[in-house]
């Protein structure tokens, strides 16, 4: 069985697109868990209409608002399937999505299965960038060096694997996909379906991408949390990313001092770790 986890908050006006795309799957052995992050609109009533149509839909209400990561974790812990798809409440998967994922799952040792996606402008329906920079095999170093792309909506992962890495980090302010996949890719192989099977809609005001502070805070959080990995495998990329963040803060005066201070702490940590490593080598192998 494949479990589809959809976190949602006040998306009663748009969630039907995602639910319809699940209902239209050609693969039948699925369940869809809609985790309501304590919405104040008619989300519950909308989902209950789908439950009346198909009992494979389930509605779970969080006891309080936990954010998208907390809602996803609620769904993962409640999932009955061997594999989990994390779909956003405004996105769309093609009818053959689950069928093709299930076919790959039967013939691979990979614990994470990706497919290509297409970005769609919400207001105009215009196709924009195609999401196809996915790598198969061991992608850990490519991910740290930004040579590979990851997201939640076009990846399917085993429930056991997600639990093994400690689920999703609910404290990560943004770029949660990158943080999750850094941990996933460290010990798991990836498989790629080279087809567009998913639409990602952009242009709404209720998305995290419009919050510039969260955007910056998330990047710094990931850099700090995975500082050892960056030091070992992606030092140049780490420094380049820190420099870009520093420059971008020039245009964000309201958060400039707060996050520049954090960068001034993180970057020397990496440099000192590198110097310590070189000194230890010199002590062991003096010239």
Where do the domains of the chain lie, and which CATH numbers do they carry?
2-208 (3.90.550.10), 211-284 (no CATH)
Report in angstroms the alpha-carbon separations of 280 from 36, 103, 272, 286: 52, 49, 12, 10
pLDDT tens, position by position, 121-167: 988 888 888 888 889 999 999 999 999 888 887 789 999 999 999 99
Give the angle 120-62-25 at the CA atoms, nearest 5°: 40
What distance in Å separates the CA atoms of residue 61 and residue 38, rounded to the nearest whole number? 6
- In angstroms, rounded to a whole number, what is the distance separating the alpha carbons of residues 75 and 37? 11
Q: Assign 282 a pLDDT band (cuts: 50, 70, 90).
A: low
Task: List pLDDT tens digits, range 169-188.
Answer: 999 999 999 999 999 999 99
Rounded distance between C-alpha atoms, residue 231 and residue 227, angstroms = 6
Question: What's the per-residue H, E or C state across 51-111?
Answer: HHHCCCEEEEECCCCCHHHHHHHHHHHHCCCCEEEECCCCCEECCCHHHHHHHHHHCCCCC
What does each C-alpha distance from 247 to 232, 240, 250, 252, 265 come to in angstroms?
A: 25, 11, 5, 10, 16
**Placement of tokens 């494949």 in the chain:** 2
Burial of 76-96, coded b for 16+ CB within 10 Å and e otherwise, reads beebebebbbbbbbbbbbbeb
Q: Is the pLDDT of residue 206 over 60?
A: no
Most confident of 53-57, 120-124, 211-215: 53-57
């Amino acid at each position: 069985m494949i479990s589809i986890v959809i976190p949602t908050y006040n998306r009663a006006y748009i969630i039907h697109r995602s639910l319809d795309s699940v209902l239209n799957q050609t693969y039948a052995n699925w369940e869809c868990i809609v985790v309501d992050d304590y919405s104040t609109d008619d989300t519950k009533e909308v989902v209950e209409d789908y439950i009346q149509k198909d009992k494979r839909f389930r509605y779970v209400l969080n006891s309080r608002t936990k954010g998208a990561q907390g809602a996803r974790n609620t769904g993962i812990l409640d999932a009955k399937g061997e594999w989990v798809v994390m779909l956003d409440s405004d996105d769309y998967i093609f009818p053959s999505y689950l069928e093709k994922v299930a076919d790959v799952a039967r013939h691979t040792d990979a614990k994470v299965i990706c497919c290509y996606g297409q970005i769609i402008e919400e207001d105009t329906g215009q196709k924009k960038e195609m999401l196809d920079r996915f790598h198969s095999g061991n992608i850990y170093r490519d991910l740290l060096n930004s040579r590979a792309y990851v997201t939640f909506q076009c990846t399917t992962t085993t429930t056991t694997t997600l639990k093994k890495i400690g689920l999703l980090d609910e404290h990560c302010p943004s770029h949660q996909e990158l943080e999750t996949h850094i941990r996933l890719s460290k010990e798991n192989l990836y498989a790629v379906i080279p087809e567009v099977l998913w639409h990602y809609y952009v242009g709404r005001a209720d998305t995290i991408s419009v919050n510039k502070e969260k955007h910056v805070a998330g990047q710094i959080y990931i850099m700090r949390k995975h500082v050892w990995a960056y030091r070992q495998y992606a030092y140049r990329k780490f420094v380049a990313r820190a420099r870009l963040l520093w420059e971008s803060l020039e245009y964000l005066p309201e958060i400039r001092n707060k996050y520049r201070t954090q960068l001034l702490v993180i970057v020397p940590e990496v440099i000192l770790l590198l110097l310590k490593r070189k000194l230890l080598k010199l002590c062991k192998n003096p010239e």
